[in-house]
Chain A
Amino acid sequence: MSATPATTHTAAARAAEEAALRKALAATPRPPRASALSSALTFGWRGMLKVKHVPEQLLDVTITPVMFVLMFTYLFGGAIAGSTAEYLDYILPGILVMSVLFTTVYSGVALNTDLTKGVVDRFRSLPTWRPAPLVGALLGDSVRYLVAGTVIVALGVVLGFRPDEGVPGVLAALGLTIVFAFALSWVFTTIGLLMRSPSAVMNAGFMGIFPLTFLSNVFVDPETLPSVLEAFVNVNPISFLADASRGLMQGGVERTDIAVVLGTAAVLTAVFAPLTTHLYRTRS
C-alpha cells in the first residue's frame, strides 16, 4: 500500500537491512531489575560522561575558588590578620568549605536544566529505584566537589600553606566537606524542582548560600563582629564545618564540630532527599 520512495538501495541490501531490524526487534527476555545501587551508579556514570564530553564546565568550579583565594589572601589578608601567610593558614580551610558549598548550587541548576529536556520523561518512565536519577546525579557532582577542593588545596600549597596535619588532615577535611555538600545539595535540587528556569535556581541558590557562608567564621573571627551577627555566626552550621576543617588540617579538631556537621547533614538529607524525590516524580 505504501508507495516506497525510490532509494539507492538494491533490493538485496534492503532485505538485509530489514532482517537486521527484525532481529534487533525480536522480543528479548526482560532481565531482572537493576539494583538501587547499580542504577544510582549508572546515573553517576552519566554525570561523569557529561564532564568528559564538556570539560570546560569544570571552569566555573575552579575559577571562582582560585579568585577567592587570591583575593582574600592578598587583598584582605594584611588588613584582617596582619600578615598574608598567617591569614592563609586561617582562611584556606574555610575557602575550601566555601568553594565546595558554592558548587552545590550547580547541582540544582543542572537538575533544572535536565527537566527542560525530554530525557527526564524517559527516566521517570523506567522501572528503577525512584531516587536513582537524583542520587546518581549527586554522585556525579561529587567529582566537581573534589575538583574544586583539590584546586584550592593545591593553590594554597603553592602560596605557602603548610597544614600541620599533612595529607591525611587535608583528605579528612575534604571528605567531611563533601559529605556536608552532598547533604546541602539536596536543598538545591529541591529548589531546582520548584523554580521555572535554571537562572532562577542560580539566583535563589546564591541568594541563600552567599549570606550563609559570609555570615560564618570562614573569613573572620566572630569575636570581632557585632553581637547579633556573632550570635548567628556561632550557630551557623557552616561555622562548625569551617572549624572542623581547620581543626582537621591544622590539628586540634573538636568532636562537637564534627558531630554538629554530620548531624546537620543527616537532617538536611532526611528532609530534602525525600522531598526532592517526590517532586521529581510528580512534576508535570
Chain B
Amino acid sequence: MGSTSGQPPLAIEATGLVKSFGETRAVDGVDLSVRDGSVYGVLGPNGAGKTTTVRMLATLLHPDAGSARILGHDVVREADTVRGLVSLTGQLASVDEDLTGRENLILLGRLLGLRRAAARARAAELLEAFGIAEAGGRLVKHYSGGMRRRLDIAASIVVTPRLMFLDEPTTGLDPRSRNQVWDIIRALQAEGTTVLLCTQYLEEADQLAEGIAVIDHGKVIAEGTPAQLKASVGTGSLHVRLLDPDQRPNAERVLTRTLDSVHLESDPSALSASCADADRAAEAVAELARNGVAVAGFSLGQPSLDEVFLALTGHPAEEEQAEEALAATDGRAA
C-alpha cells in the first residue's frame, strides 16, 4: 500500500480500519483503495459495518486501529482538511426536518462560506435541478422519501466536494425515485466527483460502480469489478412459472439438461435454475416449449446479494438449494 510519490493520491486509502462498540467489532480490519474520480461500491447486508466505515472516513468516528487517508490527508491528524474535501449523505436523512428544503440548502451554503445572495442563488439552482423547486418552501418532514433523498444529495453538493459518501441512498425508494438518484450519481461522476456508495443491492453497485468491496461482519470478503464479482459468484438465475404444477417434474428434467442447479421453489408451480446469460435462458425456455411444458411466465434475475454472500462466505449456494429442494419434495410427499 502507500501511494508512491509522483502518482496522484487515491481518493480513499484505508488500511486495517477497526472500530468496536463494546463487544461488537463493527469494523474489523477494513482495507479500501478508491481511485480519484470513480464510483466505488461498498456492498454488505444489515450490520456489516458499512455505516461505521463511512463514519470513520468522514472524520465522525475515531478508528480504534488502522488508518485512512482521503486524497492524501489523514482522517485523524488532518481531520479538518478532510472535512473540507468530503461531504456526507448519511443513512438517516442528514437534512433538518424542521426546516424547509430551501432553508436547509441556504443554511449549508452559509456554513460553507457562501455569501447570503450566493447561498440563496445556489439553493434555488439546486432545487430546480433536483426537481424539488415547488416543494422548496415546505417543511422537509412533509417530503416524500424520494424528495428527501434528493434534497439530501443536493445538500451534499451545495459546494462541490471532491469526495462524496452516499450511505444507502436508494433504500426504501420506489423504482422511479431510485432511477433519479442513479442519474444524479452518474452525473456527479461525470463532473469529476468521487463517490463512495454504500448499498445492500448488488444491482445498484453493478449499475454504478467501477469497483466493489463486499463486506460482512466488518471484514472485506471480496473486492473487484462488478464483472469479476459476479463471475466469482457464478451466475444469475432463471425463474420459471408453469401453468400446470403437475408438469413441474417434467420441466425440472428439461431444465437440468440445459442449465445448472435446478431448484424447486416453495410455490409448487415455480422453479429456478442458475443461468449466466439471456441467450441460454431463452434457449432453455424454448426447450421447455418444445417438450410440451406450458410456461405462464419467466424472468431472469441477477445473482441476489444472498447468493453472493453464500458464495463468498464459503457456504455453496447449490448445497443449500439442494437441501431446500429436498425439504420441498418431502413436504409434498407427506
Contact with B along A37-54 (1 / 0, CB 8 A): 011001101100110011
Report yes or no: A122 in contact with B155, Cβ–Cβ below 8 A: yes
B171-197 to A contact mask, C-beta < 8 Å, 1/0:
000011001001110011011110000
Considering only residues 1-39 of chain A, those with a C-beta below 8 Å from chain B are 1-2, 4-5, 7, 17-18, 20-28, 30-34, 38-39
A284 CA to B58 CA, complexed, in Å: 12
**Contact A118:B92 (CB < 8 A) given known A31-B118, A124-B60:** yes
Tell whether, in the assembled complex, residue A118 and residue B90 are in contact, meaning their CB atoms are under 8 Å apart: yes
Inter-chain CA distance A42–B139, complex, in Å, is 18
**Distance, CA A25 to CA B155, complexed state (A):** 12
Which A residues are CB-close (under 8 A) to B231?
none
Report the minimal beta-carbon distance from A26 to chain B, rounded to whole angstroms: 6
Q: Which residues of the partner chain B approach A28 to less than 8 Å between Cβ atoms?
A: 159-160
Roughly how many angstroms separate A17 CA and B184 CA in the complex, as a whole number?
A: 11
The answer to whether A125 touches B87 (Cβ under 8 A) is yes
Say yes or no: is A126 at the interface (Cβ < 8 Å to chain B): yes
Find chain B residues with CB under 8 A from A282 CB.
62
Give which listed residue, B58, B98, B103, contacts A125 with CB less than 8 A.
B58
Q: Is A255 at the interface (CB under 8 A from chain B)?
A: no
Among the listed B126, B159, B175, which residue makes an inter-chain contact with A30, where contact means beta carbons less than 8 Å apart? Answer: B159
Q: Are B187 and A126 in contact (CB under 8 A)?
A: no
**Are A119 and B95 CB-contacts (below 8 A) given A2-B179, A22-B187, A25-B191?**
yes
Q: Determine how close the nearest CB of chain B comes to the CB of A66; give it in whole angstroms.
A: 26
Q: How near does chain A come to B245, taking the closest CB pair, in angstroms? A: 31
Alpha-carbon gap, A17 to B107, bound state (A): 25
> Which of A30, A124, A126, A127 has the largest count of B CB atoms less than 10 A from its CB?
A127
Query: Is B320's beta carbon under 8 Å from chain A?
Result: no
Could you say which of A34, A117, A284 contacts B111, with CB atoms under 8 Å apart? A34
In the bound complex, what is the Cα–Cα distance between A32 and B21 (angstroms)? 37
Q: Which residues of A contact B98 (CB under 8 A)?
A: 49-50, 53-54
Residue of A nearest to B95 (CB): A119
A113 to chain B, nearest CB (A): 10
Cβ-based interface call for A221 (8 A)? no
Name B207's contact: one of A2, A43, A46, A126 (CB within 8 Å): A2
With A1-B207, A24-B129, A53-B99 known as contacts, the answer to whether A34 contacts B160 (CB < 8 A) is no
- Contact A127 B182, beta carbon cutoff 8 Å: no
Smallest Cβ-Cβ distance to A27: which chain B residue: B160
Contacts of B126 in A (CB 8 A): 24
Confirm or deny: A121 has a beta carbon within 8 angstroms of a beta carbon on chain B. yes
Determine the chain A residues whose CB is within 8 A of the CB of B103 once the complex forms: 46, 49
Set of chain B residues within 8 Å of A27, measured between Cβ atoms: 160, 191-193
Contact of A45 among B59, B107, B131 (CB under 8 A): B107
A247 to B54, CA, bound (A): 56
Contact between chains at B90 and A31 (CB < 8 Å):
no
Are B111 and A5 in touch, CB under 8 angstroms? no
Q: A150 contacts the other chain (Cβ, under 8 Å)?
A: no
Given A34-B112, A284-B21, A117-B92 contact (CB < 8 Å): yes
User: Contacts A2-B207, A34-B112: A24 and B92 contacting too (C-beta < 8 A)?
Assistant: no
Assess the B182–A25 pair: CB atoms within 8 A: no
Segment from B8-16, B78-86, B284-292 that makes contact with A: B78-86
Q: How far is the CA of A188 from the CA of B67 in the complex (A)?
A: 35
Q: Which chain A residues border B107 with CB–CB below 8 Å? A: 42, 45-46
| Alpha-carbon gap, A50 to B141, bound state (A) | 13
A-B contact pairs, 13 of them (CB 8 A): A17-B131, A21-B130, A23-B125, A24-B128, A24-B157, A28-B159, A42-B111, A50-B98, A50-B99, A119-B93, A122-B88, A282-B62, A284-B60
* A-B pairs, 10 with minimum CB distance: A118-B92, A24-B129, A31-B113, A127-B83, A122-B94, A118-B94, A127-B84, A42-B110, A27-B160, A118-B90
B interface residues, Cβ below 8 angstroms from A: 21, 55, 58-62, 80, 83-84, 86-88, 90-100, 103, 107-108, 110-115, 118, 125-126, 128-131, 139, 155, 157, 159-160, 175-176, 179, 182-184, 187-188, 190-193, 207
Can you add 7 more A-B contacts, CB < 8 Å, to A42-B110, A49-B99, A128-B111? Answer: A21-B184, A27-B160, A31-B112, A34-B111, A53-B100, A117-B93, A126-B108
